[in-house]
Each structure stands twice: as C-alpha cells, then as structure tokens.
Amino acid sequence: MIELRKIPIREFVDGGHYELHFGGDKMTLRNKFNLDNPVELARVEEKISKQRAIELWHGDELKNFQAGTFATLAQIHKRLFDEIYHFAGQLRDENISKGYFRFASALYLREAVSTVEKLPQKNFDEIIAKYVEMNVAHPFREGNGRSMRLWLDDILKRELGKVIDWSRVDKNDYLQAMERSPIDDSAIKKILGSELTDKVTDREIFMKGLDASYFYENYFVYRSEDLIRRRQDEH
C-alpha cells in the first residue's frame, strides 16, 4: 500500500458534489457556469459529463492512450468535466477526505500517482489492486469515482477482453467494499469479479453501467439513453 503522509495543506471534504465556494454562503465547487446552487450544479454536471462519457465510448477515443496510466485517467477526467470545471484533468493541490479517511496528501500526490501507474496489470487481481490504489490517491478535486470506473474498464478491456457490468453491482455493496479496500481488497475483487462480461462493445451494457456509476455518486436525474435520444431529436 502507498503510505499516506498527513501534511497541513488547504483542505476540503470530498462529499460527492461540493466544496466551500468562497464568496458565497452555499457549498459548491467553483465552476465555469458560475453556479452557486449545488442542486443546479449537480444537474448540469450530470448532464454534460454523461454526454461526454457517451461520446468517449462511441468514439473509442482512448485507443491512442496507454491503458492504466495517469495520462489516460487525466484524459478521461478532462473529457468529462472540461466544460464545467477549470481543474479538469489536473492533479488537485488540496488535501481531501471522505468520512474519516484521508486520501493521498497533495504534497506527495504526483509521487503517489507515479507509483500507482507502475503497478502491474496483467490479471484481474492486479488490475483491481491498481484501481484500489488509484482510488486511495484520489487525484482530482471532483469526479474521481466516475472517471476511475471508466479507466478501470479500459484496462480490463485491453488486458483481459472484459469489462464490468456495473448495472449488476449493488451500490451499497460496492461502496462498503471500496471503503474497506485500502486495508482488505478481497471484497471488492469478489463483487466486481462476479460481474465481469466479455461484451465489451455492447451498447446497453455501457449505457446502463454508466447510469449505475453515476448513481453510486447520487447522480440520477438523467438516463444515458434519454440523453442520446434528445441529442438525436435536436439534429
């Protein structure tokens, strides 16, 4: 496991949707829309980032990036969130935590990410162990989980010819297993291993999985299929 050193840098709590928005009285992330209402920002973020994730999948845009690297993860994150946040695709410079767990110190984050991307990824156990370590690093200010699940599927697809059917992974089981994973990753390996599929190009698997991934983070206003239909109707 990567050592987490606690250094007093600016901190905020990674609660899923927001941080302190200085200059206002609401808890929101600074964003390119200048929204200070967390509910409104969450809706905009879900809609735009889901649309970009769909485009990313349809265009097979990751084929020119090496699976399992931070560069690939950063590209995914930038693609999803660049229209919303100035920090899209960039390493965070704040310390963040969730509950009682402190993610990798911002002071040593670049070192931690470099260590993670060098981890082996030749079999399922190695790939999940690498995914767990990248989650411990939590390299971005927001959008880590959604970006990393796409990153994980990209590794599985290219190394093993499989992806995870996220629509079959129970939210509570997944979150509890991920919470335990820095100490014991056996539960998350069992949960995700039981839902592996070789249907790597199946559109329905991806769409339902994307909705499930967002549901884990409490984003569930827009269905991926509906977003596609609306886009088609506009054209």
Question: Each residue's pLDDT tens digit in the chain (235 positions)?
Answer: 333 333 233 334 443 433 444 444 457 999 999 999 999 999 999 999 999 999 999 999 999 999 999 999 999 999 999 999 999 999 999 999 998 899 999 999 999 999 999 999 999 999 999 999 999 999 999 999 999 999 999 999 999 999 999 999 999 999 999 999 999 999 999 999 999 999 999 999 999 999 999 999 999 999 999 999 887 777 6
Domains of the chain by residue range: 11-234
Sign of the four-CA dihedral 225, 227, 233, 235: negative
How far apart are the C-alpha atoms of 88 and 83, rounded to whole Å? 8
The per-residue pLDDT for 3 is: 32
- CATH number assigned to the domain covering 11-234: 1.10.3290.10
Instruction: Give me the pLDDT at residue 234, please.
Output: 72
Residues 19, 13: Cα–Cα separation, whole Å = 7
- DSSP state at residue 27: B
Q: Give residue 27's pLDDT.
A: 74
Q: Provide the 8-state DSSP code for 20.
A: B
pLDDT of residue 8: 31
> Taking the model in full, what pTM does it have?
0.89
Contact present, 85 and 48 (Cβ < 8 Å):
no
8 Å CB contact between 44 and 142 = no
Q: Could you tell me where the DSSP H helices lie in the chain?
A: 38-58, 70-81, 109-117, 124-137, 144-160, 171-180, 186-193, 203-216, 224-234
- Tell me what pLDDT residue 23 has: 40
Residue spans of alpha helices (H) in 24-83 = 38-58, 70-81
Q: What is the pLDDT of residue 26?
A: 54
User: What's the rounded Cα separation, in Å, for the pair 139 and 116?
Assistant: 11
- The pLDDT, as a whole number, for residue 232 is 74
